[in-house]
Amino acid sequence: MTGSIAFLSETRSDCDLNACGLTLNIGRQRLTEEEFNALLLKAQKEGVLERQVKMLKGEVVNTSENRQALHTSLRSEDPASPHYEEVNETRERMYALAEAVRNGQWLGATGKKITDVINVGIGGSEMGPHAVYHALRDINPSIRLHFLSAVDGVLADRILGVLNPETTLTIISSKSFSTRETMLNAELVNEWYEKAGIRTQKERACHVFLVSAKESACQEMNLPEENRFPIWSWVGGRFSVWGAIGLPLVIALGPDVFKAFLRGAHEMDRHMIGAKPEENLPLTLALLSYWNSTKLSMVSHCLLPYDERLRLVVAWLQQLEMESLGKSVRPDGSIITTRTGQAVWGGFGNEAQHSFYQWLRDGSSRTSIDLVWCDEPGHTHAHHHLVLNANAQAQAEALVTRQSPSEEFFNAVTTIRIKKLTPETLGAFMALYEHKTTMLATLYGLNAFDQPAVEYGKRLCRELEAKLSC
């Protein structure tokens, strides 16, 4: 390797970190072992891990909204975890409904078996479930899952135009039950059912379920109370795939798959708490991201999965990090003068090679990159997998080297090997990035769990919609 700024592998003999079926190699990061050790000391001084433990225990960490942030409780197997009883009760209700739908005990209003599920939701109510479904859909493909998110009518027509309302279950997911896009699409789906003769409360109750924190949501939708699954105030939307927001996944993939997904995430939680700092995967990712953004002025971070199943994880991560870290004000109102967070983007690695890798490799910007591949394929085409992984490993090297070494421009690459993509390792992978994000918030001195700019944009849209409707 060449370049005037050192690679970590030049000063550190072992650059692999292993946990939960994942292996991180950080040897292509641009710092010395001494500098990395200084970052570990900074994490200790800032109490990064201690704050994570406080979060898991239920202390108020969302200070601007005076709330807990207990998405980890949604996947916990520990009866001592905060809110365990109500979480477990909701999980059991989810599993019971899913089993009834999948085995044909739960039928539509006309007595037909459910074959399709529509998830009506946007943002955190769509991106997490969509990414997981895309990754795992081949495990239990008997029930198809569709995602109606945006208010572009083309999307609605493409989904509703090919489905039979008599065999379709709809799950409307909105924490506030006021998200404009979701409620507008919910109205459209209700009209679709009405045109099919599914009109009474009893009939609609066979087809429509709600996931919301709003206790009056069922009353507003003329549905029985048992058709609502709760979201709690202590779970943020972008962290919510582990709870009732995952109900469409439980139905489409089966309870056993979802349980395994939760178990993998919980194992990453346990690793995050128990691992030595120098062996801690999410802490390592957070520290490297902090270094790259604040010290090396890398304004963007690129996620490049070399596995079709992980394609939609890019969009999920984009929301997770940019909505959590895209802030310039501390909880006490003071202005943050240093860089906070990075612009997150990416794509399916093999396609991206023929799209934007020229910019990554020879362009004039610095980019931090996570390049991901799976050791075992999810198909039977052995040579395809060999070529795909050869591309991944070759590009990990190509993206940090130049034909003519430049002192000014360079990238930093972390590779993440997933031994085998399973529900467990997918859960661990996504939990890894959740912890990375909340740790980064501590390092930057900001609140990861609110989204004031998003709320401001919603208010302006409501005002403009009212004006345009006149």
pLDDT tens column, 160-188: 999 999 999 999 999 999 999 999 999 99
- The predicted structure's pLDDT at residue 2: 41
* 96 and 244 fall within a common domain: yes
Residue 268 lies in a domain: no
- Asked if 229 and 192 sit in the same domain, the reply is yes
Please report which confidence band the pLDDT of residue 360 belongs to, taking 50, 70 and 90 as the band edges. Answer: very high
Structural domain ending residue among the three candidates 201, 228, 258? 258
**Tens digits of residue pLDDT in 256-279:** 999 999 999 999 999 999 999 999
pLDDT tens, 306-355? 999 999 999 999 999 999 999 998 888 899 888 889 999 999 999 999 99
- Which positions are catalytic? 323, 354, 458
The answer on 302 and 323 residing in a single domain is yes
More confident residue, 456 or 376: 376
Residues 100 and 166 both lie in one domain: yes
Listed range (40-44, 108-112, 400-404) with the worst mean pLDDT: 400-404
332 in the same domain as 253: no
Asked if pLDDT for residue 409 goes beyond 80, the answer is no
Q: Do both 179 and 117 map to the same domain?
A: yes
CA angle 171, 176, 179 (to 5 degrees): 75
**Residue 447: how many other CB atoms lie within 10 Å:** 20
Mean pLDDT of 30-38: 97
213 and 121 co-located in one domain? yes
pLDDT of residue 403: 63
Same domain, 251 and 286: no
Domain extent at residue 113: 80-258
d(CA 398, CA 377): 23
Cα distance from N-terminal residue to C-terminal residue, the chain: 64
**1 — pLDDT class (breaks 50, 70, 90):** very low
Nearest to 275 by CA among 11, 49, 28: 49
Q: What is the mean pLDDT of residues 373-388?
A: 97
In the structure, what pLDDT confidence band is assigned to residue 464 with cuts at 50, 70 and 90?
A: confident
The whole-model pTM stands at 0.95
- The answer to whether residues 283 and 410 belong to one domain is yes
Q: Is the pLDDT of residue 459 over 80?
A: no
Whole-angstrom Cα distance, residue 74 to residue 426? 16
Cα 246 to Cα 251: distance, rounded to the nearest angstrom: 9
- CATH code for the domain of 63: 3.40.50.10490
In this predicted structure, the answer to whether residue 470 has a pLDDT above a threshold of 80 is no
Alpha helix (H) ranges present in 115-233? 127-136, 153-160, 180-195, 201-204, 217-220
Tokens linked to 64: 């601007």
369 strand-pairing partners? 302, 413
Which helix (H) or strand (E) segment holds residue 212: the answer is strand 208-212
User: 240 and 299 in one domain?
Assistant: no
218-243 pLDDT per residue, tens: 999 999 999 999 999 999 999 999 99
Does residue 462 lie within any of the structural domains?
no
- In a domain, residue 270? The reply is no
Assigned domain for 54 exists: yes
- For the CA atoms of the chain, what is the radius of gyration? 23
Same domain, 449 and 387: yes
Nearest one of 177, 173, 328, 287 to 238, comparing CA atoms: 173
Q: Contact 106/146 with Cβ under 8 angstroms? A: no
